[in-house]
Amino acid sequence: MTSSDSSRRTVGAWSMLGAPAAAAALAGIGADWVLLDAQHGLYDDRSILDTVARLAAMRTGHPTLVRVPANDAAWIGRALDAGADGVVVPMIRDAADAAKAAAAVRYAPDGTRSWGPMSAYWGGAGEDAATANGRVTCNVMIETPGALAEVESIAATPGVDMLFVGPFDLSIALGTTHAELLADTSPESPLRRIVAAARAAGIRSGAYGGTLEAAAALYGHGFDDVAVVVDTAVLTAAGADSVERARNL
């Protein structure tokens, strides 16, 4: 899920809890990448800084991404300054929004990101602007009818590395259900159109799954990178199962 990835399929882990320990546990289960959710999860600026530093110290070799709350250069810059390998930017409406996000992700001459890496604060080695530009990724979310209508131009926006789908928001916005969106395998279905746009532009496609069943459907549509494991779901599902088993001992 980085700029140098091949076309292989990846399995992601999604962290909502805003806790470095929770994200570190996810980083140790073998997932290909970990995402920290600052839009709908409990991550704030402080916990992103602490968590990204902890994951970097683990040296897993896998990317750490941050879903920022909005298409905002300050949030994007802070996440990348902390050492994140990329951002997932929500509520992209059109190619202009995508270009704004892409510019915020990279330093000049490729973008407008302000210089201020924080790695030196915890003893890490710095990197120059060109190296940083090649490492980080800009992943934009397609989750509205407007974005779907403009998906080909969004995918072709210079600096965009992935189209990332929020299937719950997209299904609500399209007036359908999450299950119906995933089940629509027609050639012109919304999910197939998004995957096709990404492939035509030579970039990756990703999506939030959250369950094995949803992940299977998303991989079936052709998505490259799917978040399968979510810390909140793992905690509650495993805990509930253990409690039930204990009652039958």
pLDDT tens per residue across span 27-75: 999 999 999 999 999 999 999 999 999 999 898 999 999 999 999 999 9
pLDDT of amino acid 4: 46
pLDDT of residue 238: 87
Q: Is residue 140 part of a domain?
A: yes
Is residue 2 in some structural domain?
no
Residues 69 and 173: their CA atoms lie apart, in Å, by 19
40 is catalytic: yes
- CATH number, domain at 191? 3.20.20.60
Residues of the chain below pLDDT 50? 3-4
Would you say residue 210 lies in a domain? yes
- Residue 103 inside a domain? The answer is yes
The verdict on residue 1 lying in a domain is no
pLDDT at 202: 98
Check 40, 62, 178, 221 and give the catalytic one: 40
| Domains held by the chain: number | 1
Model-level pTM?
0.94
pLDDT at 6: 54
Cα separation, 69 vs 52, in Å, equals: 17
| pLDDT of the residue at 121 | 76
Measured CA to CA, the distance from residue 199 to residue 181 in angstroms comes to 20
* Host domain of residue 59: 10-247
Cis peptide before 167 (omega within 30 of 0): no
* The pLDDT of residue 7: 63
Task: Look at residue 186 in the predicted model and tell me its pLDDT.
Answer: 96
Residue 4 lies in a domain: no
5 domain-assigned: no
In a domain, 176, yes or no: yes
* pLDDT at residue number 5: 53
